[in-house]
Chain A
Amino acid sequence: MITLKEALTKSQDELNRLKTQMENKAKEGGLNAYIGFESSGEGVPILIKDNIQVKGWSLTCGSKILQGYIAPYEATAITHLKSHGMAPFGRANMDEFAMGSTTESSYYGKTLNPHNKEHVPGGSSGGSAAAVAGGIAIAALGSDTGGSIRQPAAYCGCVGMKPTYGRVSRYGLGAYSSSLDQIGPITQNVEDAAILYDAIAGHDPKDSTSADMETVSVAQNLNPDRKLTIAVIDNYISEADSQTQRVFAQTVEKLRNAGHTIIHKNRLNTQYDIATYYIIATAEATTNLARYDGIRYGNRASCNNVSELFYNTRSEGFGDEVKRRILLGNFVLSSGFYDAYYLKAQKVRHLIRDEFNAIFKEADLILSPVAPSSAPKIGSISDPLEMYKSDMYTLSINLAGLPALSLPVGKDSANGLPIGLQLIAKAFDEQTLFDGALSLERAVNYQK
């Protein structure tokens, strides 16, 4: 598949032929990465996760409860995309309401990993990552609430980037956890990620959490020759499997050989990140998902009265994981438990951010695993708490609102699947993040 940079030089006729090829290949390939082949406007086709509004498209967040909903307006990220020579093409499969790490919980069935169809592609933006890695999309948009861009990118062997909270407007993004959600790019390489990030970033008056600051092009200023100070969190690494530890150690050596300075730090145990995240995210999710009542949009279950309308629509419309998180969210927000759970977690967010700020006084970037292993087999994680624990390395970045980028750096020698690592930068320092990532990409020279 041609890169996004190259695609931007092609004529509309060439792009139209490419769209036909991608659609045919996607239908033959059996990855179930696309759940629709809608097209909107002219430009380089970009695959869109099924929770980002494109006016006139069906939008369902991978859920039964939103069957029948048609987006009545455009997400700001999509408006920006269109003004930069790109155009939405196709809807990407995802975990229902972005709640999952495997893309197994979608109403449309599971998406498969393009490297080995017995393994998951990661999630929740599993359709976006599988399509880019599988050569059936040039680039894609995903959303990242606790790792949902970076982790599937790592499992599939492509680049995934979560911008600083507030960099990309959330207007038109299906809300899961509003203080954590960000839209971001999934691409074949770091430079494409910078191009797509540039296109969607910028202040938006329609999103009150959008940062009102000047946006300078990252892609035009990429500099892989900067020598940076990169921190590694020593107590993180011991929690990963031996394959991830091996690839991590090799990558640190390559960064050192490329002229970067490596320093060693420690952080709070990741179990506190997991606990904080699953309290905050479920509390916000239960509030955001209260709007799905079968009255104004989506799917309405058969009912005889208003009480049945609410109960039947929600009980039949939501899947098991979404129900579990709604119940948990209502528990941590309920009278008698609110202080002990929700307010406690809010306070711990300060600790997590303060720790990162302290590290960034000495370091430009942090290098970290994305996941404790390569992509697990489909159906191998059935216990929800075990699934939550597999998000250990990505959650704290959302809790602190930082930008991070995941890229493939090696392979699991036991199963041949990609292993990705992430670089993390201080808030709003996307330039350093991309500069370091481009340097790392060149240093590891990853081969598919």
Chain B
Amino acid sequence: MQIDSTILENLEKLSHLHIDEDKKVEIIAQLSDILSYVENLNELDTDHLDASFSTLQGGTLMRSDEPYCDSAISHDILSNAPQSQDDFFIVPAIIE
């Protein structure tokens, strides 16, 4: 798979990342190399296999959905957040 600048631009958007202009050629080459390599999986016949996988017997366990809140944890998270006030995280204005 050859990555091009259009695909990279889309990946940057999906990832919320800006790749520096002077690194774009290198990252395109690296991603293309890695994706070409992983395409070796096409040599394996997997048509009969399930696409879901779990190492746990019977899959992931279910549990009842009971609310739980340790307010001390919330308090600690808020007090160490980049910007917070009362019980809220502060972000730049969303509505201009």
**Quick check: B89 and A347 within 8 Å, CB to CB?**
no
**Quick check: A328 and B31 within 8 Å, CB to CB?**
yes
- Cβ of A275 within 8 Å of any chain B Cβ, yes or no, is yes
- Cβ of A2 within 8 Å of any chain B Cβ, yes or no, is no
Question: Given A306-B94, A324-B30, is A275 in contact with B40 using a C-beta cutoff of 8 Å?
Answer: yes
Best-surrounded residue of A72, A345, A401 (most CB of chain B within 10 A)? A72
**Quick check: B46 and A347 within 8 Å, CB to CB?**
yes
**Quick check: A341 and B38 within 8 Å, CB to CB?**
yes
Contacts of B29-74 to chain A: CB distance below 8 A: 30-31, 33-35, 37-44, 46, 49-56, 60-61, 63, 70, 72-73
**Quick check: B89 and A296 within 8 Å, CB to CB?**
yes
**Quick check: B55 and A70 within 8 Å, CB to CB?**
no
- Cβ of A443 within 8 Å of any chain B Cβ, yes or no, is no
Stretch at the interface among A26-34, A137-145, A348-356: A348-356
**Quick check: A296 and B16 within 8 Å, CB to CB?**
no
**Quick check: B44 and A348 within 8 Å, CB to CB?**
yes
**Quick check: B51 and A347 within 8 Å, CB to CB?**
yes
**Quick check: A327 and B11 within 8 Å, CB to CB?**
yes
- Report how far A328 CA is from B1 CA in the complex, Å: 12
- Cβ of A300 within 8 Å of any chain B Cβ, yes or no, is yes
Chain B residues within an 8 Å CB radius of A286: 15
Q: How far is the CB of B66 from chain A (nearest CB, A)?
A: 11
- Number of chain A interface residues as a range: 35 or more
- Cβ of A334 within 8 Å of any chain B Cβ, yes or no, is yes
Chain A residues within an 8 Å CB radius of B23: 320
Contacts of A217-239 to chain B: CB distance below 8 A: none
- Cβ of A413 within 8 Å of any chain B Cβ, yes or no, is no
- Cβ of B21 within 8 Å of any chain A Cβ, yes or no, is no
How would residues 300 to 326 of chain A score, 1 for a CB under 8 Å from any chain B CB and 0 otherwise? 100111101111001100101001101
Chain A residues within an 8 Å CB radius of B73: 72-73
How would residues 195 to 218 of chain A score, 1 for a CB under 8 Å from any chain B CB and 0 otherwise? 000000000010011011000000
The prevalent SS among residues of A at the interface is helix
- Cβ of A156 within 8 Å of any chain B Cβ, yes or no, is no
- Report how far A414 CA is from B88 CA in the complex, Å: 60
Question: Given A350-B53, A384-B34, is A326 in contact with B82 using a C-beta cutoff of 8 Å?
Answer: no
Q: How far is the CB of B43 from chain A (nearest CB, A)?
A: 8
- Report how far A297 CA is from B63 CA in the complex, Å: 28
**Quick check: B31 and A68 within 8 Å, CB to CB?**
no
Q: How far is the CB of A224 from chain B (nearest CB, A)?
A: 28
Chain B residues within an 8 Å CB radius of A345: 38, 41
Question: Given A69-B80, A295-B89, A303-B92, is A353 in contact with B15 using a C-beta cutoff of 8 Å?
Answer: no
- Number of chain B interface residues as a range: 35 or more
- Cβ of B25 within 8 Å of any chain A Cβ, yes or no, is no
Q: From B18, B27, B35, B63, give the contact of A315 (CB < 8 A).
A: B18
- Cβ of A8 within 8 Å of any chain B Cβ, yes or no, is no
**Quick check: A298 and B17 within 8 Å, CB to CB?**
no
- Report how far A309 CA is from B94 CA in the complex, Å: 11
- Report how far A320 CA is from B63 CA in the complex, Å: 39
**Quick check: A326 and B94 within 8 Å, CB to CB?**
no
- Report how far A272 CA is from B40 CA in the complex, Å: 7
Q: How far is the CB of A170 from chain B (nearest CB, A)?
A: 13
**Quick check: A275 and B27 within 8 Å, CB to CB?**
no
Chain A residues within an 8 Å CB radius of B3: 331
**Quick check: B46 and A351 within 8 Å, CB to CB?**
yes
- Report how far A205 CA is from B58 CA in the complex, Å: 17
**Quick check: B17 and A314 within 8 Å, CB to CB?**
yes
Q: From A69, A348, A385, give the contact of B34 (CB < 8 A).
A: A385
- Cβ of A279 within 8 Å of any chain B Cβ, yes or no, is yes
- Report how far A179 CA is from B53 CA in the complex, Å: 9
Q: How far is the CB of B84 from chain A (nearest CB, A)?
A: 9
- Report how far A274 CA is from B41 CA in the complex, Å: 10
Output the nearest chain A residue to B76 by Cβ-Cβ distance: A72
- Report how far A286 CA is from B11 CA in the complex, Å: 11
Q: How far is the CB of A441 from chain B (nearest CB, A)?
A: 28
- Report how far A318 CA is from B19 CA in the complex, Å: 11
- Cβ of A278 within 8 Å of any chain B Cβ, yes or no, is yes
Question: Given A295-B82, A330-B14, is A211 in contact with B93 using a C-beta cutoff of 8 Å?
Answer: no
Q: How far is the CB of B25 from chain A (nearest CB, A)?
A: 14
Question: Given A72-B76, A278-B38, is A327 in contact with B31 using a C-beta cutoff of 8 Å?
Answer: yes
- Cβ of A364 within 8 Å of any chain B Cβ, yes or no, is no
Q: From B15, B33, B41, B56, give the contact of A327 (CB < 8 A).
A: B15
Output the nearest chain A residue to B77 by Cβ-Cβ distance: A72
Chain A residues within an 8 Å CB radius of B44: 268, 272, 348, 351
- Cβ of B12 within 8 Å of any chain A Cβ, yes or no, is yes
Interchain Cβ contacts under 8 Å between A and B, 10 examples: A73-B70, A166-B56, A297-B80, A300-B82, A300-B83, A323-B17, A334-B14, A345-B38, A353-B55, A384-B34
Apart from A209-B56, A275-B37, A278-B38, 4 more pairs, CB < 8 Å: A209-B60, A293-B16, A308-B92, A315-B17
**Which 8 pairs across A and B sit closest by C-beta, in order of nearness?**
A401-B55, A300-B82, A72-B76, A347-B46, A275-B38, A347-B49, A330-B14, A310-B16
